[in-house]
Structure 1
């Protein structure tokens, strides 16, 4: 595994402290993360073998792990920021409340309570 893929997996675990803790005691979680590590390694190797440029490899790995080619923030955090910005905007109260109460289309992260 390259340094980039390793750092990406490490950041992924940093964003989910409960998962990182579970790796020590839960063999199922450990197996799932190992499967992700192996998948990232195999994908990285396949992209390199096919002559895909390094920058494109980085974007593909970020897309797989974070759902976004830049991978700086997970998509959930970006959506939450946008929601907060919308609430801070000068919207009619009913519209802002209705918008905030819309069900989220993203899956709940393991370290957070699911939204309605």
Structure 2
């Protein structure tokens, strides 16, 4: 890639924008138009600004909802993990106590 930058052969280097990343359609359409080699073909700043603000307005309410839902899911997963690990800890503690009772004389535990 560095060699292509140093010695360009009229090959355009553009990153791929995978559709699977969930980008807003307006942004996916806007970005390549900003890469146009002809300056007059590029969108004007007002269109870029309006598109970005439109996308942000669309996501502003969804971001909080998404964050809360993500936090709830993570909290539930964490609670389940803590419960599982606590159960395993108690089982291992019980096994260790049983092993100590087998090794030590009975009067040691009185």
Output the TM-score relative to the length of structure 1. 0.26
Instruction: Name the structure, 1 or 2, with higher relative contact order (CA <8 Å, separation 6+).
Output: 1
Output the TM-score relative to the length of structure 2. 0.27
In terms of fraction of residues, the more helix-rich structure is 2
